[in-house]
A and B are shown apart, each in its own frame.
Chain A
């Protein structure tokens, strides 16, 4: 008989190791899945994890690592602040979309003006847009006690509709021959979030992601606000005794995660994606939830987890095109990672024991 025994203290080494274990088990389970689909599992796993970094066309894929990882890390850092305090923003995807719409809106409104201040203004608009979108669940929670999980999640679908409306209406490119989608911002130098160093994928969004990692690290470890966030997550009553005002924390955490998601959206729309279009939302906001937990809600962990998830994105694309794996299988594969991580989390607090005995 197998049973679980509670550990006197959570195992520190296991809490660091479970992400590694989760990756390994995901590879095994994913391999079985791919085998069941009639593909060679070893080849599929190699295509996903090895080819983008060291394969024949790695020079093309490597920059993608930063392009895909940047927004993931930026969003996940914001989410992790709230998650630490038990405030669950599930709607980063919506804030990402709304930030992109606001950022692009500034550029499209000023087109074709050529000025240095346009791009900074877009950054500001993107952050504010994401912040405002996140303030909806935040204010509703503070004023009326609504559940931020539901409200933020449902606002994703509202943002999605708004995005479609914008791509087909207000922001549609007047010179676009009737096709949906705005002007391509890559062709508007004042608004283009261009690669900073050619061939690396490094753009302003990636820079902001690194800054966010450092900012979050300092906030959580050196500042009283970060202490209050951790305290609220670990012992809410002690936090209220300590003088933490829960409503302020809710506004801060949701606002911060919204602003960072909005920034990510704005850097994406003005850079790699280039235009406001129906298919702009690529699921970064949802994947970032996985990234935040995979990184143990720790800024440095999130940085590593973001790069890993980016790798599975890129590798997944390659596997789709070269091996003909269905994209749903790739998504299942990514989902497995969080699934196994959460399952293995049990082991940090419990140990598995085997006992032989009469069946009860």
Chain B
């Protein structure tokens, strides 16, 4: 590391209602692999978009090899030597590799020369790729190679990679890491965005950790344990849990050996998940995003079906039942994605009330909709959950995130569920609304319901959970009573130490301490 390539000072970017980056500063050295680490919503994407010229910072400066650098658009950033591989590929499936690469170039050379150069670069960097293959036939890993080669042809000084391994198989990850190390040895710096701690420890020289838009620390990953980094990501403001596990209630929800392949090719497969929730209890499930949260919610709501006995409610097997049959039995759910999943954006709140309320609120007779009843139900939710909206005929997408979230949670809570499963119930919601939503979950449990709260907000989980577990790569850790859990233990659970491995990792950590 001979000097500083890119220096960022006090970069700030605010969007209405949220400060995405708050005075972030750090340096990226020449031929350094620099990790940018943080939970979802920590501001990683906004930061790299500013570096790549897609977003203009509100304040703060960047210098490139000592000279002021403020790219007004990606073209300028590319000309300076910044290249970026996005998490979502922008490739035309019907065109071949070389044609796709040519489309991204300012002045593409003749196709034959380009194909030769693609072949050269792909061989040099150990990324085998035939320039004449149609992109539609390529695997996700091969498509990523197209994007990487597209960047490498520009001979970049700084390569930005946004969660590159989220779509790769372990073998493909190995190949990618070899390539990145080779690039580094040739003097290219890499800004590597991820929340996978082990990868960062294996690959990166430096790490900058963001939390809620702020730079909360830097470290040298090779000399830092995954647990320490997880703690920095999560923050040290964690409240000690106050709730004591109430026992004695009957087991309402019993999940045994739940394994479900994700319907999404980039999703996470659930592997052999066991847990029980008793009446009156809140089970908090933590974990970093993308470790099976969506899939678990789908398996519990009935969107994904499993074998019959895997999921039982009050002893009754429900694994094969669809969402409406489960609603009849009192199993309700509120997915994470508000617009498009929990609610239809262009439909009114009345229509959205019907969306999940049709069965339990008895809004249908012979299939005909009782619109008056649906509207009353919507108004009831609006009133009891303080949803700020002109009325029940407003379209869901016209509501602010927090208000729509209150509506989505309220819609399920007011149907008096036996089991309620929520994913990220207060995601992007202001503090007052979040408190109201949490209180409603606590009240629901106090009334005898079994609540499963999946969340990435550990503060929230510690506040409301009776017992706590964490998802990691589709597996669930042991479930522990939340009271008395230390941040060390939580970090360990989230870091993927599950089942048999707990003792082993515990020893190792103990030896280091």
Contact between A238 and B355, CB atoms less than 8 A apart: yes
Taken together as a complex, chains A and B put the C-alpha atoms of A27 and B340 apart, in Å, by 40
Contact between B341 and A241, CB atoms less than 8 A apart: yes
- Which of A222, A227, A241, A245 interacts with B351 by CB under 8 Å? A227
Taken together as a complex, chains A and B put the C-alpha atoms of A225 and B358 apart, in Å, by 12
Given contacts A234-B347, A238-B342, contact A245 B367 (CB under 8 A): no
A-B contact pairs, 10 of them (CB 8 A): A222-B369, A223-B369, A224-B364, A224-B368, A227-B369, A234-B344, A235-B346, A241-B335, A242-B355, A243-B324
Taken together as a complex, chains A and B put the C-alpha atoms of A183 and B345 apart, in Å, by 55
Taken together as a complex, chains A and B put the C-alpha atoms of A245 and B301 apart, in Å, by 14
Which B residues are in CB contact (< 8 Å) with A235? Answer: 340-341, 343-347
Interface: B322 (CB within 8 A):
yes
Interface: B137 (CB within 8 A):
no
- Which of A223, A224, A234, A241 interacts with B323 by CB under 8 Å? A241
Interface: A231 (CB within 8 A):
yes
| Apart from A231-B355, A241-B355, A245-B322: 4 A-B pairs, beta carbons within 8 A | A224-B354, A235-B340, A235-B341, A243-B324
Contact between A234 and B358, CB atoms less than 8 A apart: no
| Nearest 8 interchain pairs by C-beta | A243-B324, A243-B323, A235-B344, A237-B341, A238-B344, A242-B355, A235-B340, A234-B344
**Could you tell me the distance in whole angstroms from the C-beta of A329 to the nearest C-beta in chain B?**
34
- Which of A223, A224, A225, A241 interacts with B301 by CB under 8 Å? A241
Q: Which of A224, A237, A240, A242 has the most CB of B within 10 A?
A: A242
What is the count of residue pairs linking A and B with beta-carbon distances less than 8 angstroms?
A: 66
Interface: A9 (CB within 8 A):
yes
Contact between B355 and A237, CB atoms less than 8 A apart: no
Number of interface residues of A (CB under 8 A): 18
Interface: B356 (CB within 8 A):
yes
Which A residues are in CB contact (< 8 Å) with B303? Answer: 240-241
Given contacts A241-B301, A241-B335, A243-B323, contact A224 B344 (CB under 8 A): no
Contact between B368 and A222, CB atoms less than 8 A apart: yes
**Could you tell me the distance in whole angstroms from the C-beta of B91 to the nearest C-beta in chain A?**
21
What does the 1/0 interface line of B356-384 toward A look like (CB < 8 Å)? Answer: 10100000100111010000000000000
If over half of A's interface residues share one DSSP class (helix, strand or loop), that class is named, otherwise mixed; here it is: helix
Interface: B123 (CB within 8 A):
no
Contact between A238 and B340, CB atoms less than 8 A apart: yes
Which A residues are in CB contact (< 8 Å) with B153? Answer: none
Contact between A234 and B341, CB atoms less than 8 A apart: no
Contact between A243 and B340, CB atoms less than 8 A apart: no
A232 and chain B: residue at smallest CB distance: B344
**Could you tell me the distance in whole angstroms from the C-beta of B292 to the nearest C-beta in chain A?**
18
**Could you tell me the distance in whole angstroms from the C-beta of A345 to the nearest C-beta in chain B?**
15
- Which of B340, B356, B395, B398 interacts with A242 by CB under 8 Å? B356
Contact between B343 and A238, CB atoms less than 8 A apart: yes
A241-263 interface (Cβ within 8 A of B): 241-243, 245
Q: Which of A222, A230, A240 has the most CB of B within 10 A?
A: A240
Which A residues are in CB contact (< 8 Å) with B343? Answer: 235, 238
Contact between A243 and B322, CB atoms less than 8 A apart: yes
Contact between B344 and A231, CB atoms less than 8 A apart: yes
**Could you tell me the distance in whole angstroms from the C-beta of B304 to the nearest C-beta in chain A?**
10
**Could you tell me the distance in whole angstroms from the C-beta of A41 to the nearest C-beta in chain B?**
40
Taken together as a complex, chains A and B put the C-alpha atoms of A225 and B351 apart, in Å, by 13
**Could you tell me the distance in whole angstroms from the C-beta of B227 to the nearest C-beta in chain A?**
35
- Which of A227, A231, A241, A243 interacts with B342 by CB under 8 Å? A241
Taken together as a complex, chains A and B put the C-alpha atoms of A234 and B335 apart, in Å, by 17
Taken together as a complex, chains A and B put the C-alpha atoms of A235 and B346 apart, in Å, by 9
B313-353 interface (Cβ within 8 A of A): 322-324, 327, 333, 335, 337, 340-347, 351
Which B residues are in CB contact (< 8 Å) with A223? Answer: 367-369
Given contacts A237-B337, A238-B342, A241-B335, contact A227 B398 (CB under 8 A): no
Contact between A224 and B358, CB atoms less than 8 A apart: yes
Which A residues are in CB contact (< 8 Å) with B327? Answer: 243
Interface: B496 (CB within 8 A):
no
Which A residues are in CB contact (< 8 Å) with B355? Answer: 231, 238, 241-242
Given contacts A223-B369, A224-B367, A231-B355, contact A238 B341 (CB under 8 A): yes
